[in-house]
Amino acid sequence: MHEDFDRCVRAVRSRDARFDGWFYTAVRTTRIYCRPSCPGMPPKAENMTFFPSAAAAQQAGYRACKRCRPDASPGSPQWNERADLAARAMRLIADGVVDRAGVPGLAARLGYSVRQVERQLLAEFGAGPLALARAQRAQTARLLIETTALPMSEVAAAAGFGSIRTFNDTVREVFALPPTELRLRAGRQVASPGVISLRLPFRQPLCPDNLFGHLAATAIPGVEEWRDGAYRRTLRLPHGTGIATLRPTTDHIACQLALTDLRDLARAISRCRRLLDLDADPIAVDDLLAADPVLAPHVRRDPGRRVARTVDGGELAIRAVLGQQVSIAAAKSHLARLVHDHGDHVHDPGGALTHLFPTAATLAELDPDRFALPRARRDTIAALVAALAANAIDLGVGADRERARARLAALPGFGPWTVETIAMRALGDPDAFLPGDLTVRAASRALGLPHTPSALTAHASAWRPWRAYAVQYLWAIADPRG
């Protein structure tokens, strides 16, 4: 979109927040870049230039606006919607792969050469993987500077900088202030060591009912809970563990992260955003779905429904298999036993969280007969955890969706419902569809839509590429509670 100059100018002049994260406005006279919705006086059109990413603006020598904080705007919805190399790379960079494994590690995860990845990202986002990762480190550093009392040397290390000098230079370059002054301007710090409080922005509208209702209804005791109007869960992160507390408000998600290692901050934020589908474009989704006269009144009544996704693809796949053909209560009972017996313990002074979800490697070492399940289901679980433990199936943020679908479908006991559930919630495919789901079929029947899988799939072709969101509306029609 950043190449459509006139459209970008209109968005800036109308301060249209829907385009935050789609592009960034740089002002040649001030050398500052902003989000489209910046509350400041819009610059003259002849002084504007547009970039596809904050990293590209920073690389061109522009500083982040202190009023609108463009580096903290929601990510482009295309990064999660698309399944191509560039989008997969962006999801992996947000999850910290470049910080942990460098650009060669990123390229290996994607299955391309370093040169191909760098060329594609430069063409798509105006910056290479190192610059994109650097922009993320700068945003993480600012969060730590403004919300903790950590010494700057510890902030630099936690944000992923190799030296305090690089940290200081980057903060000055990106924010036009030295780290100490940035902290003084913020004027607030959290009291609890290791706890970060922040706001997770999203594009309006957002309907929190189905999103948080689903998470609360399916919460595994010990791993997740609904407490005092917030969803809480444990996180397994690259350098340690964490507990996320997520509370919906009218214009943001209030997020509190308790981390054993602050180097995991950026990864924890990325996973919480993905869990809640906060980078979605609800206007585009709802405009298309509302074109169907049957769905239109439901879309108008509750606009902005999101897909509840996951913080861990392997965990979601195991949960999907244990949820096959059983009630939510029965699935939660199986999962609670699994977590209690094989999950690692965590300490949660603020609630009732007790465990991390067990890893696939841990479960792969168990005798399948220890699972209190029918023989066929035990075989399915055993095949799944063995494939995940051996890295034969990638369900991470940068996974090739179609390859993952094919490998899941080849496992025993994996039918279309299980594969598409994993595609929708673990792989983040916005077009995943569940025509055989009993609740979807019941809602379709109630609306007078075709309700056999083949006929409903044919009708739903008009909902592409947002069929996963149509499923959310159909589920809500069948169960008005969420």
Residues assigned a catalytic role: 34, 437
Residue for token pair 């510890």:
154
Cα separation, 87 vs 429, whole angstroms: 12
Let me know how long the chain is: 482
394 in Cβ contact with 400 (< 8 Å): yes
- List Cβ neighbours of 381 (8 Å cut-off, separation of 6 or more): 318, 321, 322, 363, 368, 371, 373
Q: Roughly what angle, to the nearest 10 degrees, separates helices 97-110 and 129-147?
A: 150
Q: Roughly what angle, to the nearest 10 degrees, separates helices 85-94 and 129-147?
A: 30
Cα separation, 471 vs 433, whole angstroms: 7
Helix (H) or strand (E) holding 254: strand 253-259
Q: Determine if residue 69 is left, alpha or beta; phi over 0 gives left, psi from -120 to 50 gives alpha, anything else beta.
A: left
- List Cβ neighbours of 238 (8 Å cut-off, separation of 6 or more): 96, 100, 263, 264, 267
Upper half-sphere CA count for residue 197 (Cβ side, 13 Å): 9
Q: If you write DSSP's letter for every residue of 13-62 in order, what string do you get? A: HTT-GGGBTTBEEEETTTTEEE-TT-SSPPPPGGGEEEESSHHHHHHTTP
Upper half-sphere CA count for residue 417 (Cβ side, 13 Å): 15
405 in Cβ contact with 395 (< 8 Å): no
Cα separation, 345 vs 238, whole angstroms: 16
- List Cβ neighbours of 274 (8 Å cut-off, separation of 6 or more): 80, 309, 310, 311, 397, 428
Phi, psi for 218 (deg, rounded to 5): -105, 10
- List Cβ neighbours of 40 (8 Å cut-off, separation of 6 or more): 34, 65, 67, 68
